[in-house]
A and B are shown apart, each in its own frame.
Chain A
């Protein structure tokens, strides 16, 4: 089960966070800070799976952005690694401009892919279909 999904930049600021399990607000900031510290201190040589407290972190770096996903032991880490990549490709396809000014859209995309900690959809077209509908409605 996926516990959380974070997008963090190199300075350590959270760009997107989605928790699939309830975590208190102040604990969230602490958790994010620690997770980021762990990931930023890894060199390129080291593997992308880290053990942190009682779950595993899978992270992937894209230019100045880190995507970190926390999973528990039952998930296949390499499948989650692929999921991250899939997610980034979807974002690429949809957003022509910089992502961060349309945070709610990114949330919507993430919601289409992952529901309550489980992967539900991985086909790019199907993920983006509701978004196109939404855009059409918003314009009209």
Chain B
């Protein structure tokens, strides 16, 4: 090539001196080309230098796979220096997916038998990091021999290599088990370290080995004890703790051995207690050992006193000034919280104090832990603290905090008023970070809390008057003002806020919300609807409302425009209906399906019913209810007993009431019609009838059609049948579902018309009247 050989330091200097990315790339390309040329030329002397340069280039992120064969060549060279570089290159450039990997096997095998321990060590290290399953199987015997017989430094590496073998090929652990027993008696720390690691790996993978080594627990415990009391040893102590890495390793093994076994755990109890109390925690080292001890204590079946000790240690960690320790303590406490509730409550104050720490990751963990520590007893104080936190926390933390608070409030609220108060506070502070369903949940809660309406609406009015930028709060407030506006103006309210609210003020506020640019389209829609409702509730003049509504008749937003036009129509042509349309909302059940079914049956305002069904906004359920039928009798809030069903019940069709006996409606002419009844517990007015038709004599009837009618006070819906031909007695019957809605619980009567063509030929039509439904079907 002619160029003088560039050494690694020169290359590094060159790369660092490159001022731009392009220059660096150019330099690297040139060097790669030179290296490629040298490899092809097969120059042995420069081999190592080239390879080291190549490794550096690889470090920078450029592809260097052309150096793989060079690695293998260097590996096989008799010179130690070259071998070393070759192995290093192999470790960095090769892995199981490359084809050149297999060629390593032979080299490693030869090197394992090499007389020099350093070379053996190299080969073991390489096998330990790169070995594929096949290689491990081939060479496991060799490794085992080395573990037994070789000189000390090689044994250490052989044990570490054995760990890798066991990971890759778990079945091979059998050959290493007997050796480990012997190795446990060794004194050299390095060897012990590797042995413990090997035992841990084997035990984790195979329960038989685990049982075998449980017998070794006393030996291991003794080892830990010796470490504890051994005092200062120059070689191994770090900051006064003797060989902390080994201690941690022993503790981890004890954890694996003790899990699930009572006697093993008992044997460790004393030593664990001793380590826990004697370890110095002034430095990170001692804390590391203590942390591992705590993890072990909590994982095995320790004595209760020991567990309390562990929790107290964690509590002490929380008070430490070092952030690392605090975050580690918080994480482990979070894991423990379900197991050791009572012990943890003592540290609640410290956890709450962590909320004020400047480190955000600690905040996050402290928040999770505080939410987990909340119980019925301490909910008020904890909520106070968390609300304070919510006010000051950074924006990224607001959503989890808000949703956590809302969930906790729901689970533990001592009474409705506190619950609603808390939700209002969360909404005020968290603004737009609350989860989407918070608005609807809150509204539902408000509707349920009948007696608190005056108080609620006053508070909401006050909050809205102060600030109209927090969208969820504005939505809730406008809805409530619309519903309960009359209560707002009434004088009788025993709360400590004797604010006199004028009608004009209310309307002005709603107008402000409507016109503010901060309001989202759903909010505006709600405000418009609220205004309409007020037109019936407030005694004052409605011209103002009319004016506002008609202004929006030409608004750009389609939804608002549509509503405004409909409301205008309400004012003009259907004024007599306005009062009944805008009556108070019935009690909302906790299911959207209920809302979807209460659809106006082709109501008076033809335009509005179709439009309400198309509402895409997230408060679609509310809008459905609003457009709901005034024809359906409005059930006042108090009389409905079953409330607050969880959403899970929505999907349950299983009746908890005693099953209603099925009814054979008609039998004749080789055909039989049965009704099976079901009353879903979620909806007391709904009756599901499954009509099954089957033939009693052989042959198939075709063209089967069932029509049904019910008295005027009930509603009926027929679903599509499973087919139109009724098979013979051995086929599956034809089935069709009918849904009867009976809000007034009137006696159920039904008229049926059945049409079919029997196998004989002539089409038949039958009319039936059924008056004897079982009483449970409609009561």
Query: Chain A: residues with CB nearer than 8 A to chain B?
Result: 14, 16-18, 20, 22, 25-26, 28-29, 45-51, 76-79, 81-83, 86, 100-101, 103-104, 107-108, 111, 115-116, 118-123, 125-126, 129-130, 133-134, 137-138
In Å, the complex CA distance between A52 and B465 comes to 44
User: Is B288 located at the chain interface by the 8 A CB criterion?
Assistant: yes
User: Is B323 located at the chain interface by the 8 A CB criterion?
Assistant: yes
What 0/1 pattern do residues 63 to 98 of B give for CB contact below 8 A with A?
Answer: 100000000000000001100110010011001110
B292, chain A: closest CB distance, angstroms: 5
Can you give 7 contacting A-B residue pairs, CB < 8 Å? A26-B61, A46-B358, A46-B361, A77-B328, A82-B245, A121-B193, A138-B81
Please give 12 more A-B residue pairs, beta carbons under 8 A apart, in addition to A49-B361, A78-B324: A17-B59, A47-B362, A76-B248, A101-B9, A103-B8, A103-B52, A107-B92, A108-B84, A115-B160, A116-B128, A116-B164, A130-B118
Query: A79-B288, A111-B91 are known contacts. Are A46 and B238 too (CB-CB below 8 A)?
Result: no
**Are the CB atoms of A101 and B128 closer together than 8 Å?**
no
Please name the residue on chain A nearest to B81 by beta carbon: A138
Interface size of B by Cβ–Cβ distance < 8 Å?
A: 63
In Å, the complex CA distance between A116 and B161 comes to 9
**Are the CB atoms of A123 and B189 closer together than 8 Å?**
yes
In Å, the complex CA distance between A118 and B324 comes to 22
The interface residues of chain A lying within 8 Å CB-to-CB of B80 are: 134, 137
Name the one of A47, A116, A120, A121 contacting B324, with C-beta atoms under 8 angstroms.
A47
User: Is B110 located at the chain interface by the 8 A CB criterion?
Assistant: no
What 0/1 pattern do residues 127 to 155 of B give for CB contact below 8 A with A?
Answer: 01100000000000000000000000100
In Å, the complex CA distance between A123 and B244 comes to 11
In Å, the complex CA distance between A10 and B292 comes to 32
User: Is B326 located at the chain interface by the 8 A CB criterion?
Assistant: yes
**Are the CB atoms of B288 and A82 closer together than 8 Å?**
yes
The interface residues of chain A lying within 8 Å CB-to-CB of B85 are: 104
In Å, the complex CA distance between A23 and B765 comes to 75
Lowest 10 A-B CB distances belong to which pairs?
A: A78-B288, A47-B323, A101-B9, A46-B359, A47-B327, A115-B160, A47-B324, A29-B61, A116-B129, A120-B160
Per DSSP, chain A at the interface is helix
Query: Chain B: residues with CB nearer than 8 A to chain A?
Result: 8-9, 12, 52, 55-56, 59-61, 63, 80-81, 84-85, 88, 91-92, 95-97, 118, 121, 125, 128-129, 153, 156-157, 160-161, 163-164, 189-190, 193-194, 197, 235-236, 238, 243-245, 248, 252, 284-285, 287-288, 291-292, 295, 323-328, 358-362
Name the one of B92, B125, B358 contacting A45, with C-beta atoms under 8 angstroms.
B358
The interface residues of chain B lying within 8 Å CB-to-CB of A14 are: 59-60
Name the one of A48, A121, A137 contacting B156, with C-beta atoms under 8 angstroms.
A121
**Are the CB atoms of A103 and B285 closer together than 8 Å?**
no
Query: A81-B284, A82-B285, A133-B118 are known contacts. Are A104 and B129 too (CB-CB below 8 A)?
Result: no
In Å, the complex CA distance between A76 and B85 comes to 32
Please name the residue on chain A nearest to B322 by beta carbon: A47
B155, chain A: closest CB distance, angstroms: 12
**Are the CB atoms of A116 and B61 closer together than 8 Å?**
no
**Are the CB atoms of B84 and A78 closer together than 8 Å?**
no
Interface centre among A46, A51, A86 (most CB of B within 10 A): A46
**Are the CB atoms of A25 and B84 closer together than 8 Å?**
no
A43, chain B: closest CB distance, angstroms: 8
Query: A78-B288, A103-B56 are known contacts. Are A116 and B160 too (CB-CB below 8 A)?
Result: yes
A124, chain B: closest CB distance, angstroms: 9
A98, chain B: closest CB distance, angstroms: 10
The interface residues of chain A lying within 8 Å CB-to-CB of B361 are: 46-47, 49-51
Please name the residue on chain A nearest to B10 by beta carbon: A101
**Are the CB atoms of B160 and A104 closer together than 8 Å?**
no
Per DSSP, chain B at the interface is helix
Name the one of B193, B323, B325 contacting A120, with C-beta atoms under 8 angstroms.
B193
**Are the CB atoms of A104 and B52 closer together than 8 Å?**
yes
**Are the CB atoms of A126 and B153 closer together than 8 Å?**
yes
B21, chain A: closest CB distance, angstroms: 12
**Are the CB atoms of B61 and A25 closer together than 8 Å?**
yes
In Å, the complex CA distance between A133 and B157 comes to 17
The interface residues of chain A lying within 8 Å CB-to-CB of B235 are: 123, 125
**Are the CB atoms of B125 and A111 closer together than 8 Å?**
yes
In Å, the complex CA distance between A18 and B59 comes to 9
**Are the CB atoms of A48 and B324 closer together than 8 Å?**
yes
Query: A101-B12, A115-B160 are known contacts. Are A120 and B194 too (CB-CB below 8 A)?
Result: yes
The interface residues of chain B lying within 8 Å CB-to-CB of A115 are: 125, 128-129, 157, 160-161, 163-164
**Are the CB atoms of B328 and A78 closer together than 8 Å?**
yes
The interface residues of chain A lying within 8 Å CB-to-CB of B95 are: 22
**Are the CB atoms of A49 and B118 closer together than 8 Å?**
no
In Å, the complex CA distance between A100 and B12 comes to 8
The interface residues of chain B lying within 8 Å CB-to-CB of A137 are: 80-81
Please name the residue on chain A nearest to B325 by beta carbon: A78
**Are the CB atoms of A45 and B160 closer together than 8 Å?**
no
In Å, the complex CA distance between A115 and B88 comes to 13
Query: A76-B291, A123-B235, A130-B118 are known contacts. Are A49 and B88 too (CB-CB below 8 A)?
Result: no
Query: A79-B292, A100-B12, A133-B118 are known contacts. Are A47 and B125 too (CB-CB below 8 A)?
Result: no
Please name the residue on chain B nearest to A101 by beta carbon: B9
Query: A103-B56, A107-B88, A120-B193 are known contacts. Are A81 and B288 too (CB-CB below 8 A)?
Result: yes
B12, chain A: closest CB distance, angstroms: 6
B199, chain A: closest CB distance, angstroms: 13
In Å, the complex CA distance between A73 and B234 comes to 32
The interface residues of chain B lying within 8 Å CB-to-CB of A26 are: 61
The interface residues of chain B lying within 8 Å CB-to-CB of A17 are: 59
The interface residues of chain B lying within 8 Å CB-to-CB of A134 are: 80-81, 84, 118
In Å, the complex CA distance between A14 and B238 comes to 29
Query: A22-B97, A104-B52, A104-B55 are known contacts. Are A79 and B163 too (CB-CB below 8 A)?
Result: no
The interface residues of chain A lying within 8 Å CB-to-CB of B59 are: 14, 16-17, 103
The interface residues of chain B lying within 8 Å CB-to-CB of A133 are: 118
In Å, the complex CA distance between A5 and B547 comes to 71
B284, chain A: closest CB distance, angstroms: 6
**Are the CB atoms of B287 and A78 closer together than 8 Å?**
yes
Query: A45-B358, A79-B245 are known contacts. Are A129 and B61 too (CB-CB below 8 A)?
Result: no
Name the one of B63, B285, B291 contacting A25, with C-beta atoms under 8 angstroms.
B63
**Are the CB atoms of B323 and A45 closer together than 8 Å?**
yes
Name the one of A76, A116, A125 contacting B292, with C-beta atoms under 8 angstroms.
A76
B224, chain A: closest CB distance, angstroms: 15
In Å, the complex CA distance between A45 and B358 comes to 7
The interface residues of chain B lying within 8 Å CB-to-CB of A78 are: 284, 287-288, 291, 324-325, 328
Query: A79-B292, A103-B59, A126-B153 are known contacts. Are A20 and B129 too (CB-CB below 8 A)?
Result: yes
In Å, the complex CA distance between A127 and B707 comes to 90
**Are the CB atoms of B52 and A81 closer together than 8 Å?**
no
In Å, the complex CA distance between A71 and B348 comes to 30
The interface residues of chain B lying within 8 Å CB-to-CB of A138 are: 81
A100, chain B: closest CB distance, angstroms: 7
In Å, the complex CA distance between A89 and B594 comes to 70
